[in-house]
A and B are shown apart, each in its own frame.
Chain A
Amino acid sequence: MNARSVAILLALVGMYIAVPLLLGPNLYVMSLLVASIAIGGVALAWALLGNLGGMVSFGHAAFFGVGSYVSALLSMKLGVPVFAAMFLGGVGAAVASIAMLPTLRLKGPYFALAILAYAQIFRILATEWKSVTGGSGGLSSIPRLPEIAGFDFGSKVGNYLVIVTIVLIFALIYERIRASHYGIALRAMHDSEDATRIVGVNSTFLKAMMLFVSAFMTGVVGAFNAHYINFLEPDYGFSGLWSTIPIVAAIFGGYRTILGPVIGAVFVYLIDQLVFKSYIPSGHQIMLGALLAGMVLFSPTGLLPWIVEKFKRSRHAAA
C-alpha cells in the first residue's frame, strides 16, 4: 500500500467513523458540518463547470432551488420515496438547465450574466406558481430522510453520512470525467476553442454536458437540504447565497482542484456562521463579498493551493 492509499483510507475512516463517534453527540457542531458539506457539494459542482467547462456561473441558486422544490414536491404530493425524490431533484435541475442552453453560444461575460438572470427568473416562477409551490408562504413539513434497516438517516449523524457520501460520489464522478477523453478535450477547450473544434471536438455539446452534470449535482444537494431542514420558501431555496457561498468556497479552496472547493466550503461556512454572522447579523454577506474580491486580487487560483505552495517552499528552504 502506498502513501496515497493510506491517506485515502485514513480520511475515509475519519469521515465515516471518527467524526460521527467524536462529534455525533454535539448536535450544533454536526448541523454546522452538514450544512457546510452540503455547500461544499454545490461548490464542487460550480468548480466542475468552471474548471472543465470554462464557464463562470453566478446562478447556481437556480439549480439548487429547482432541485429542492422538485424533490420536496415529489415526496409530499406524489409520495415518492425521499432518496428517489432527491435523485429526481437532480434530474429536475438538469432539465431546468436546458433552458440555459442557448446561452452556451455566448462568450464568458455574456454567459455569466445570462445565468445570473436565470436564477432570478426561477425564483420568481417559484413565487408565482402558487398552486404547486405554495408561493411565498413556502412548503413546510417536507419529509425527512427515512429510516432504513434500523438506521435512521434522518438523525443528525444519518444526515451527515448521507451528505458526505453524496459529495464523495460527486468527487469520484468529477475525477472520472476529468481523466476521461472528454476531460482532456475540455481542458484544451478553455484556451484554444477553435483549435479543439477543428480536430472534431463538438465543444458546445461538451459544455452542455458539463452544465447538465453541474446542474444535476447542485440539484441533488438542494434536494438533500430540503429534506434536511424540512422547510422551503422561494426566497430561501433560490437565495443568492447559494450562488455566492459556493463561489467563495471554490475560489478559497482552489477551483481547479476537486476537493479544494469542499474543504473551502467548510472553512468559509464556519467563518461565515461563527464569526461574520455573529457580528453582522443581517448583511454578513458583505464579508463574503470582501473575501471574494480579496482572493481574486491576491490569489485567484485559490487560497489553499497558495498556502500549500508557501508551505512546500519553506520546507524546501529548510532542507
Chain B
Amino acid sequence: MTELILQAIYSGLLQGGSYALIALGLAVVFGTMKVINLAHGELVLLAAYVAYAVESAFEVSPIVAIPVALLVVCVSAVLVYFLVDRIQKDRELNSLILTYGIGVMLTNAVLLIWKADIRSTKSAWLQDAVVIGPFYSMRSELGFFVLSLVLMGLLWWWLSKSWYGRAVRAVASNRDAAKLMGINPRTTEIVSFVVAGILAAFAGVALYSYGVIQPPLGHALTVKAFIITVLAGVGSIPGVLAGALLLGVVEALTVTLLSSALQEIAGMGLFLLVLFLMPNGLFGTVARRG
C-alpha cells in the first residue's frame, strides 16, 4: 500500500509540472490585463490536438509537433488578445463572457475536426518506462516534467532579469505608473498572451504525450488552472508550482485510493478547503476579496 501511495505521489508531482505551465499562462495574462482567459484550457487542448494531427499525418513523434503547436497556439492566443482588446465597457465581466464564448467555439471546432473520440500517442518510445529507485513513470512524463521546470526557470529569469519581463511585471502592478515609465501596456499585454501561448503549447503536447485527450478536456483544464491560482494565492512562480504539484498529488492519490471518477472532485475539495480556511491562498495574499 505504501508503495502505491508513494508511486501516486510521484506520478502526481510529474503531472503537476504541466498543470503549473497552464496555470502560469492564466496568471501572466491576468497579471497584465486583469482578464481571466476562460479559453486558456482550450488553447492547451488545441496544442494537444495539433500534436495528435502531426503524429497521425506524418507518423512522427509528437515532440516534432512542438514548433507547429507553438505557432498555432501563439497565433490563436494573439487573436484572443485582439478580440478581448476590442471590449470597451465592463471589461472584467464582458471579457469573461467573450473568452467563454471563444472557449466553446474552440472545443466544438476540435470536436468537428477531430471527432469526440479519446486520443493518445502511438509512440512507444515516449511511453517506455523509466524507473528511478522505487518509482515508475513513462519517459514522456519525466521528460516533460523536467522540461516544464526548465520553462518555469526561464520564465522566472525572463520576468525578473530581462527588460521586457520587467515591463510585464510593471504593468501588472501599476498600469499608469508603467505608462509614465515609457512602457506601452498594449505591447506587454500581447507579449503576455504570447508567453501564455508558449506555455500552453508545451503543456498541450505534454498532455498528449503521456495521457489521453478528448474535446471536453480544455474546459476542465481552465478550471484546474483556476483552482491552482486560488491555491497559490499570489501569482508568484514558486507559489503556482507548489499549488500545481499539490493538485497533481491530491488527484493522483484520489485515483489510487478511491476512484478515478472522483479525480475532479478532489481538486474541488481542496479548493473549497482553502477558500474556507485560508482565504488568501496557501502562499500569500491577493486582492480578490469582494
Contacts and interface: CB of A to CB of B under 8 A. Distances in A.
The answer to whether A and B touch in the complex, with CB atoms under 8 Å apart, is: yes
Interface of A: 56, 58, 99, 102-114, 116-118, 120-121, 124-125, 127-128, 193, 203-204, 240, 244, 247, 251, 280, 282-286, 288-293, 296-297, 300
Contacts of A247: 97, 100
A117 B226 contact: yes
B78 interface: no
Contacts of A128: 259, 261-262
A255 to B, nearest CB: 10
With most chain B CB atoms within 10 A of its CB, the pick from A106, A114, A193, A283 is A283
B105 A290 contact: yes
A123 to B, nearest CB: 9
Given A121-B268, A124-B264, A102 B96 contact: no
A196 to B, nearest CB: 12
B86 A102 contact: no
A127 B87 CA distance: 39
Nearest to B287: A107
Given A107-B289, A283-B108, A116 B279 contact: no
Contacts of A280: 112
A266 B288 CA distance: 37
Q: Interface of chain B, helix or strand or loop or mixed?
A: helix
Contact of A285 (B86, B108, B222, B227): B108
A282 B102 contact: no
B205 to A, nearest CB: 24
A105 B83 contact: no
B49 to A, nearest CB: 14
Nearest to B103: A289
Interface residues of B, number: 49
Nearest to B289: A105
Nearest to A255: B97
Contacts, number: 138
A39 to B, nearest CB: 16
B68 interface: no
A110 B105 CA distance: 22
A125 B226 CA distance: 20
Given A102-B272, A290-B101, A296-B94, A124 B265 contact: yes
5 contacts: A112-B38, A120-B264, A120-B268, A203-B290, A285-B104
Sort A-B residue pairs by CB-CB distance and give the 6 closest, nearest first: A289-B104, A292-B101, A289-B105, A286-B108, A293-B101, A109-B36
A300 B88 CA distance: 10
Given A240-B219, A244-B104, A297-B98, A117 B288 contact: no
B36 A289 contact: no
B229 to A, nearest CB: 9
A265 B105 CA distance: 19
A291 to B, nearest CB: 8
Given A120-B220, A128-B262, A293 B98 contact: yes
B261 A127 contact: yes
A103 B275 contact: yes
A204 B96 contact: no
Given A280-B112, A285-B104, A56 B288 contact: no
A103 B226 CA distance: 13
Given A107-B288, A282-B111, A296 B223 contact: no
Contacts of A293: 83, 98, 101-102, 105
A56 B112 contact: no
A120 B98 CA distance: 20
Contacts of A108: 92-93, 96
Contacts of B3: none
